[in-house]
Structure 1
Amino acid sequence: MADAPVLTEVGEGVLTITLNRPDKLNSFNVEMHEHLAAALEKAEQDDAIRAVILTGAGRAFSAGQDLSDRVTPKDGAPPDLTVTIENYYNPLLRRIKALPKPVIAAVNGVAAGAGANIALACDIVLAGESAKFIQAFSKIGLLPDSGGTWTLPRLVGMARAKALALLAEPLPAVQAEEWGMIWKAVPDDDLIPAASKLAHDLARAPTYGLGLIKQAMEAAATNDFDAQLDLERDFQGRAGRSPDYAEGVRAFMEKRAAEFTGKPPAEDKR
């Protein structure tokens, strides 16, 4: 349905998810959260989907939380923001991180507040050159959520992360690329074609191995070096038993393009 808060389209192994409240700059309400959760659940359960694109309709990726849901009368009780975070934002971020398939954010305009941090939680972030990332929380007396206080220092360093959070100044996409916060800034007209090509390339890749890469990179944030070496050993053992590894070796020896299926080893149940 064209008026649904989230649109989905599947083609050639790629699920494209479009946040679709353009009149509200794709800000989140409960209905959008529920539809996005359902789309990501489909991506997880459908083996035919091997890569995901997340983007926004209109002139924004997402302005974050819809503040019209947060207006409090002067004599009324303030909202309990822990409920929204615990029930919606935290599960969303965990779902993106845990999805055993690559997720590409195609940031087509402003990404503010939770919208910025949802984009940055994706595995690869492409942005149109006119896009901007804004940690807008401090403007209304809040702190970054949706993983922002964890993600930002790891991407850009503590000094830049603190300044972005405290000042809430827009960071242009080109500068975000220069800082290493995103993968690439591309001309606006090239954004969706570039994201589509990247997603289709990944959808033809050895999906099971890509999922292990995601898990290993996430684990490295808390593992010490010895624990990470052990994890790499164990994950490599699993990857080495996958049909894609056997196909990759055969294709290399036969000097041809590999035809990966993305299937896990027989004994591995995701």
Structure 2
Amino acid sequence: MNDDILYRQKGHVVTLTMNQPEQRNPLTGNRIVEGFLDAIDRIQQDQSVRAVIVTGAGSAFSCGGNIKEMERQASGEIGGMDIRQGYRSGIQRLPLALFTLEVPVIAAINGSAIGAGLDVACMCDIRIASTQAKFAESFVKLGLIPGDGGAWLLPRVVGLSRAAELTFTGRTIDAEQALAWDLVSRVVPADELLTAAHELAAQIAANPPHAVRLAKRLMREALHTRLDTLLEMSAAFQVLAHQAPDHKEAVAAFLEKRAPVFGMAKED
């Protein structure tokens, strides 16, 4: 873990905060990607974690790429094959890790989510935005393409036509437009964003964690598999769910008309 990503756990919920506010939380030219990867690995190994919130420190969620790093790449100072390998061993590891994280991830978008910053939001399962949030798939404005998986992620969130409009124009939309286009599921006042994110995370964390993890995996697999294949996987996952202790507890609590207790909360 490093200071570019802050890791805080309260109960069953981890909050990851991109922490370079003076630079608007860029995703290149620093160690934010490494911080994310370390945090994701830690979460995967910690069964007490049931939900994750991703947000940015300061006024921005993430401005995307570091412009100084782009200047070095454009100058020819860095060779083409080195740039390619830099993507593969750097930013491109993030969508693979964050998108496939078993625990549900909520993006709490506090400000501008630009370029790779928007794509990081799309790697999450749920997106909620502050009224101050702005969104742009702005690579084309700098003569670039989405190098971090945005061309795969964004169409699956907003549909092909709207993703094409955002990608080909590079224009910026506000939080209300993002809500109308289903890029985010809700918009809240800036001072209520983290409260809303934590309330949503708490609702997720209150459910049996094995069922939530398996349901997320099925939803992710459904994006690129056939229905008959998904049904077979669902049947296998349902066996695991039926035989999990939390299923027995959930059924008993329902019959006894009491609140269920799933596992133990981790202290601050």
- Where 2:16 maps in the other structure, the secondary structure is strand
| Partner residue in 1 for 2:47 | 47
Letter in 1 for 2:17: T
Contact 1:26–1:60 (8 Å) recurs in 2: yes
Contact 2:122–2:157 (8 Å) recurs in 1: no
The Cα of 1:245 is off from its aligned counterpart by 1.1
Listed one character per residue, the Cα deviations across residues 39-83 of structure 1 (whole Å, up to 9, x for unaligned) are 121111122222111100000000112121221375645554322
Moved more, 116-125 or 78-87: 78-87
Q: Percent identity?
A: 37
The Cα of 1:106 is off from its aligned counterpart by 0.5
| Partner residue in 2 for 1:14 | 13
Listed one character per residue, the Cα deviations across residues 91-136 of structure 1 (whole Å, up to 9, x for unaligned) are 2111112221111110000001111111111011111011011101
- 1:24 aligned to 2:23? yes
Name which of 222, 225, 230 aligns with 1:220: 222
| Partner residue in 2 for 1:266 | none
Moved more, 207-216 or 26-35: 26-35
Query: In 2, distance between residues paired with 1:84 and 1:258?
Result: 48
Q: Label 1:163 to 1:48 Cα distance change in 2 as closer, same or farther (>3 A).
A: same
TM-score norm. by structure 1 comes to 0.90
TM-score norm. by structure 2 comes to 0.91
- Where 1:71 maps in the other structure, the secondary structure is helix
- Where 2:71 maps in the other structure, the secondary structure is coil
The Cα of 1:89 is off from its aligned counterpart by 1.9
Moved more, 79-88 or 208-217: 79-88
Query: Where do 4+ consecutive residues of structure 1 move more than 6 Å?
Result: none
Moved more, 105-114 or 169-178: 169-178
**Superposed counterparts of 1:117-266, under 5 Å:** 117-261=119-263
Structure 1, unmatched stretches of 5+, are: 263-270
- 1:86 aligned to 2:120? no
Query: In 1, distance between residues paired with 2:67 and 2:188?
Result: 30
Alignment size in residue pairs: 261
- 1:68 aligned to 2:68? yes
Moved more, 155-164 or 52-61: 155-164
- Where 1:18 maps in the other structure, the secondary structure is strand
The Cα of 1:213 is off from its aligned counterpart by 1.2
Q: Label 1:253 to 1:218 Cα distance change in 2 as closer, same or farther (>3 A).
A: same
Contact 2:179–2:185 (8 Å) recurs in 1: yes
The Cα of 1:176 is off from its aligned counterpart by 1.3
Listed one character per residue, the Cα deviations across residues 217-249 of structure 1 (whole Å, up to 9, x for unaligned) are 111122112112111111111111111111111
Q: Label 1:107 to 1:83 Cα distance change in 2 as closer, same or farther (>3 A).
A: same
Higher relative contact order (CA 8 A, sep 6+): 2
Moved more, 33-42 or 12-21: 33-42
Contact 1:112–1:134 (8 Å) recurs in 2: yes
The CA RMSD measured in Å over matched residues stands at 1.9
